Structure formats: C-alpha cells, structure tokens
Homo-oligomer: A and B are copies of this chain.
Amino acid sequence: MKSDIQIARETPLKKVKEIAERIGIERDAIHNYGPYMAKVPLRLKKEEKIDRSNLVLVTAITPTKAGIGKTTVSIGLALGLNRIGKKAIVALREPSLGPVFGMKGGAAGGGYAQVLPMENINLHFTGDFHAVTSAHNTISALLDNYIYRVQGTPREIKEVLWKRVLDVNDRSLRYIVTGLGPGNGVPLESGFDITAASELMAILCLAEDEQDLRRRIDNILLGYTREDKPFTVKDLGVAGAITVLMKDAIHPNLVQTTENTAAFVHGGPFANIAHGCNSVSATKMAMSYGDYVITEAGFGADLGAEKFFNIKCRKSGLQPKLTVIVVTAQGLKMHGGTPEKAIRQPDMAGLVKGLENLSKHLENLAAFGQTVVVAFNRYGFDTDDEIGTVAEFCRQRGIRFAVNNAFTEGGKGAVELANAVVDAIENEPSQPLRFTYPDDDSIRTKIEKVALNVYGARDVVFSEKALRRLNRIEQSPLSAFPVCIAKTQFSFSADPNEYGVARDFRFKINDIVINQGAEFIVAIAGEMMRMPGLPADPQARRIDLVDGKVEGLS
C-alpha cells in the first residue's frame, strides 16, 4: 500500500473556501492560510445549531505499542457518514511538531482516512502551537524579570510553579538551571515542558471566547509570595499582552479530509497532564455546521473519554449522543497476553482473554450513560474468525458492532460503521451524561471516585507533598474544579506493564498541580513525562524536501 504522504499528495484538494461554502460558511468570512487551510472566526458559531447536532466521541481500548488508529477511525467514520448522505464533520487535535520529528512522523490520520494538507498540518499549520509557545515563554520572561526586580523585597516570590515550553522533543531541557552569570537574573532550578503540556494549551482548548480566554489567563497561578500568597498572571499585569499573542490561535482551523469533506483541527493538549481533546470551540464550530460531528479523546477510554466527559463536556455543556470505542485484534491480543512479536498471527485464546479490557471500558462508558458502538479497526492480517469473535462478544451484550476499513478504502470502508452509528443515534441515543463526581465533592473524593470507579483501584494513597497541596486547595474555591488524573496510558493502573485489566490495586498520587486558568486540578500518579526525548534514530533523519515535496511524514 502507498505511504500516507503519497496518498496525501495524490489526493486532489479543493480550495478551503469551497470546503467552507459546502458546509454553509460564507467563503469570505474565513481567513485563509494558504489555499487549503483557514481560520474560522469564533463569531460564526451558531448556538441553536449546536443543540441539534449529533456529537459522537471516538475513544479506544487501552492502547498498546501496536497502536489503535483512533484518528483514522474518527476521520473514516466522518467519511462513511458523508457517503450515506449525512452531513458529517470531524473535529480533531492538532499534531505536535516534537513527536513528528521524533518517533511518529505525523498525526493526521492514515491511509485513505487523513486530514489534508497533512504536510502543513503536521508542521507549522496555522501557528497555534507557536502562539502558545510564544505566549507561555513571554509569561516566563516577564515572571523571571519580576523575580529579578523584587528580590529581597517583601514582594519576593518564594515558590515558582511556572516553567517554559518548546514544541520539540528535548530531554536536555527537562531539568535545567537558569539565570546563571552576573546580570542574568536570579539562578533558579527550572525546565521546559513540551508545548502540548502548557496550561495555555489547555486554556485555548477550554475557552469559550476571547473574554473567557483573558479571564483564564489572568487566573493562571505562577507561584507563591514570601507571605504564601498566590501570585498570578493578573498580579504580573500582562494578561492583555498574552491574550494578544493568542488572539488568532483561538479561532478553529478548517481543513479537509481525503474525500474533501470539512474537518476542524484545533488545539492539542497533552492527554496525560491535560485533558487531551481538541478545542471546545472547534467541536462547537463543527456542530454549528454539521449534523454529525465526530471527535476523539486521547489514549484509552479510562483516560481520554473520562476527561472528555468529566472536564470538557461538564465545562462546555456538550452532550455526546454516542461513543465509538475502537478495538484492534492486535491490541486485544496484547491485552490477552500474546507476546508482542506474535500479535499479527492468529491467537484466539489471547484475543478472547483481551476482551476483558474492552469489557471494563464498556462498563465504564455505560456508567457515564453512553450508548456505545464497537468499531473493529481492520488490519490486513486480521482473520474473519477474529472479527467474528469480537462481533459475537458484542452481540451477546447487545452492543452494536462494525468493522472499519477506512484506512485502505476511505469512506467506502466505513459505511458499515456509519450505518451502525446512525442506527444507534436514531434509536437508542445516549442518556444525559452522568459524571463520575459532582462539582462539590472534595478534590480528594473526586480523585478517589475516578480511581475506584473508572480505573478499578482498591484504594488511593497520597504522598505527603500531594496531601500538603490538597490541604491548601480544599479550603479554597479551587476545590470546585474537576480533576485531571495523569497516569500511564498503557494500563488501567499506574503500572504501564499491567495489560488487560488491573484489579484491586493501590493507586498512588505523588503530586498535585493547580491549573487555575484551565480550571482543573492535575493529580499525578507515577512519573509523568512532560518533555519527551528523541530516539537513537529520530524520524528527522528521514524527513526531507525533494523537488519541493516533503518526504518522511507518515
């Protein structure tokens, strides 16, 4: 089969103004970034249409090293729906440059289910990540300048919580000392996270409009003063300037799929220490013009879907009509104990055992009140027997099942899935969301409810540091925020090697991070990587410009 970039290049693109016009947006109302990408102004959201649109979340079983193809299924489903005459739009996260040059080589779908122009989307796109990087580091410079100028006074900053960000995989920047040498400020232990982990990225994805953006920026907690008072961006007096740096970034980006249907690709917060969903504004913009809107959430359903419901939907009022959960035979087999090198061969025992992982996710999704369709993302080496077994598993539980072939066939390969999705929404839509916890639970209780009821933990223990921070929060209005638990994506537990379903485990919270602007409390379980490193043979060595064309993105 052709490579992703080959397929992308051979797909005739339509002008983005035409894409806009087709879904009902006036062509001159959008702002082009070249012929095939555009920003759609926030004012073009239509609340009355949003209420009538059918939102579908695409999530997955617990991911394994084999990959699941959630983005490909999301795009494929939108293509399939358009094939059967529905007006469907997909809303996705933007890829991060760091991983593109490190391991992944791209994150804009795959095969015949991609968003295009993939070589732009995977690179600088419309500059949203750069705007976040720039805004974040401008706060850092202003903060360090403030620290430098007030040192030795009562306004001195005692504890600094804010670091810097870059959209690059650079392990050398994780832990650094800044401000060395005469005249160069105050020496501080610090570090860089990847831009996707910036609180500003989470804010971009949750802000409803410019006013809300500014309000949230004002609230960002940067540290504590000598008198233990919180010190925020408002205290620095620069929220206006930071809002200005993000004024274009907050408008959703319109691009197209491999079948020239509309796609909004906007925002890319990390799925562990942030909530891992595209922007609320992109989802709502898509819902303003599409009867069906397909969106995804990062990692497996325990992480991505949980945060999508408990954070993104709670804050924005979104109500998904349906959740699609993606499974692969490879993934199920790995959860069932099949050794990694054998997962392309049939192993029915492993596959059946692996269904326990799917089963637990189905149970969780039911608890949220969601109707579910299981999408089997087909690879060439999957057998009919394997597909039949998963189909039968679903049939017995009264859950709709469909095979997805969009990677190799585009929308044609997702018609079965599209029909299952329409049938479910028309005949058995999800109930109103039942959140895992109410706003007025304490942060500690919220964490415990997620760990026990979603992950399946026996109990939760908190480190001394976490408890100290929790005590500070529980007395304040911050305790009304939802929690965003940062744990490994490879297991229900905090142990990345525990495949399948973990049971009866003790869940440990090491640290608590206050995202006062994004309005959630991050609870960190285990060591969370906020700045990836590069592999021994980085993808950058295979990316090139040949005759004006980009090679090496996939």
Contact = CB atoms under 8 A, between A and B. Distances in A.
Interface in A31-57: 31-35, 39
Interface in A177-228: 177-181, 183-186, 188, 210, 214
A130 interface: yes
Interface in A99-148: 101, 123-124, 127, 130-131, 133-134, 137-138, 140-142, 144-145, 148
Contact of A31 (B34, B130, B141, B210): B34
Contacts of A35: 31-32
A245 interface: yes
A465 interface: no
B142 A538 contact: yes
A175 B184 contact: yes
Interface in A500-554: 533-534, 536, 538-541, 543-546, 548, 550-552
A123 B247 CA distance: 10
Contacts of A170: 137, 140-141, 144-145
A149 B172 CA distance: 12
Q: Is the interface of A mostly helix, strand, loop or mixed?
A: mixed
Contact of A32 (B33, B145, B173, B540): B33
A378 to B, nearest CB: 32
B548 A210 contact: yes
A349 interface: no
A546 B241 CA distance: 11
A443 B462 CA distance: 64
A467 interface: no
Contacts of A543: 238, 240-241, 244
Q: How many copies does the complex hold?
A: 2
A214 B210 CA distance: 40
A499 B342 CA distance: 77
Interface stretch (A161-169, A300-308, A333-341): A161-169
Contacts of A131: 124
Task: Determine the interface band of chain A, counting residues with CB < 8 A from chain B.
Answer: 35 or more
A545 B214 contact: yes
B247 A545 contact: yes
Contacts of A130: 124, 127, 130, 133-134
A361 interface: no
A180 B177 CA distance: 8
Contacts of A33: 32-34
B124 A144 contact: no
Given A144-B170, A186-B172, A97 B134 contact: yes
22 contacts: A32-B32, A101-B241, A134-B167, A137-B168, A138-B168, A140-B170, A141-B168, A141-B169, A141-B170, A144-B172, A145-B534, A172-B186, A172-B188, A173-B178, A210-B548, A240-B545, A240-B552, A241-B541, A241-B544, A243-B545, A244-B552, A247-B550
5 nearest CB pairs, A to B: A240-B544, A141-B170, A130-B130, A175-B181, A172-B185
